[in-house]
Amino acid sequence: MSGTGNYSLMVHGGAGALDNVKDDKTAFRYLDSIRRTLEHGRDVMQLGGSALQAVEACASLLEDDPVFNAGCGSVLNENGKVEMDAAIMDGRDLSAGAVAAVDNIANPVQLARLVMTASEHVMLIAEGAMRFADHCGMERVPEDYFYTTDRVEQLRQARLQHKIMLDHDDTEEDTEDQKYGTIGAIARDPQGNLAAATSTGGIVNKRMGRVGDSPIIGAGVYADNETCAVSATGFGEDFMRSVIAKTISDFIYMKGMDAEQATAAGIEYLVRKVSGRGGVIVIDSEGNCSSGFTTKKMIHGWIEKGGATCCRF
């Protein structure tokens, strides 16, 4: 396949038991958002956009949807505040940008893109990142933009139980009912360029200043034209310790695996080394799409080599 049809795109909206999705209406809400995001990415590709443009656009749409734990609808930390992390990476030259512990920015992935293109750094955090956003002219939004009834209730429950909770936890102690709500997008464009983006609000009642894997290059996000693009969603500490995104890339580079083989090998490594919880989406340099997860389910979808739009839990 050649021309504008030779592209692949994947997005995810979190992993876990997803036992909160107990009715058709809720399930449709998640999957419809994933489908619409993929179709938007398709439009970007068909209009000649790059993989980098596609992942930024798709991640921004998911940040705008309050059903996901990123941007609007992010979970609240121990002080009842939103602190968000995001990263984006260009597989052409390994350029990358990341931000951590930011607030009042509607689309942290767009700020991460500015760090990549308009600064000499890879990562900026907290006040420094916010000053850079002001320098770049990014609009700040009020705190109440991010708050939803569900997130406020999650924080209340976490405080009552004196624990940190993950997105869409129920009120029971069974950790298998947790949902890890990071969002992500990866793409391969018709020119063979790969890109990846990941964004999250973190975990409910987290300590102020806690940073997970999402903005860490090689952990929650990675892209290299020689190998693959990866975005991860899960318990961030597990993904940082295993450097899971780079590990999957290395399986392709060093062992000649394709996306499916490298994903399986990466998930096996994640479980064996740290009993990791969560999942990944992967597109290799040939445009092959793959996903893997250690939780019961993962919200994700894909367009492989310009084909049909597919979504599933």
Catalytic residues: 182
> What does the alpha-carbon distance between residue 56 and residue 73 come to, in Å, rounded to a whole number?
18
Longest dimension (CA), the chain: 57
Cα–Cα–Cα angle for 216, 30, 157, rounded to 5 degrees: 70
Alpha helices, DSSP H, located in 125-258:
126-135, 149-161, 236-242, 244-255
Taking the CA atoms of 255, 261, 266 and 271 in sequence, report the sign of the dihedral they define: negative
Separation of alpha carbons 310 and 38, rounded Å: 9
CA 195 to chain centre: 12
- For the record, the structure tokens of 59 come out as 């991640």
